[in-house]
Amino acid sequence: MKKPNIIKLIMSALFAALTCIFTMLPIGIPSLTQGYIHFGDCFVLLSGWYLGPYGVLAAGIGSMLTDILGGYLIYAPATLIIKMLVALIATSVLKISQKDGGIKFALRLLGGIVAEVFMAIGYFIYSATVMGYGWAGSAVEIPNNLVQGGVGVVAAIILAQIIDSTHVLKKLK
C-alpha cells in the first residue's frame, strides 16, 4: 500500500479551509441576482492546479462546508460534486502541457474559463431539476455565476503567477 503524501494532505486541508473562508466572505460587487461574489472559486482552481487529485477533494469539501455552515444544506451535495469537477477540469486542461511561460498561462486561462462555465451550467441544471425552479427560473442565476467564475479565474491566475515566481509550492509536484 502506497503511503499518503503528508505534505499534500496538509496543504489540501489548508486549501479546503481557504476555499471555505473565501467563499463565505462576499466582496463589494453588486450581485446581478440573489447570489454573491467571492474569491472562493480562486482557491478551487488553485487547489486543482497545485494539488491534483488531493486538490480536487479540497475544492469540493471546502466549498461544500460553506453551504453547510451557511445554512444551504440542500446545495451541499451539488456543490461538492460541481466544485470537484471544476477543479478537475481546470487541472486536466493544465496537464496538456507542463511547459512554463505563455503556454502555462494560456492553459490556466482556458481551463479556468471552461471549468467556471461548467460550474454555471451545473448549478443551472441542479436548480432547474432538483430545486424545482424550472429552466426559466434557474436561468436567472447564470449571469451571476459567470461573473463569479470570472472573478475566480482572474484572481487564481494572478495568485498562480505569484506562487510560481516564488517557487513556494514547487516541492508539491
The C-alpha atoms of residue 2 and residue 4 are separated, in whole angstroms, by 6
The C-alpha atoms of residue 26 and residue 69 are separated, in whole angstroms, by 15
Confidence of residue 166 (pLDDT cuts 50, 70, 90): confident
Confidence of residue 116 (pLDDT cuts 50, 70, 90): very high
Q: Inform me whether the pLDDT recorded for 98 exceeds 90.
A: no
Cβ atoms 108, 154 nearer than 8 A? no
Task: DSSP for 85-107, please give it.
Answer: HHHHHHHHHHTT----THHHHHH
CATH class, domain 6-172, is mainly alpha
Q: For position 33, what pLDDT does the model report?
A: 47
Confidence of residue 34 (pLDDT cuts 50, 70, 90): low
Higher pLDDT, 161 or 103: 161
For the segment 144-167, the average pLDDT, to the nearest whole number, is 92
Q: For position 104, what pLDDT does the model report?
A: 87
Task: DSSP for 51-63, please give it.
Answer: HHHHHHHHHHHHH
Q: Inform me whether the pLDDT recorded for 2 exceeds 70.
A: no
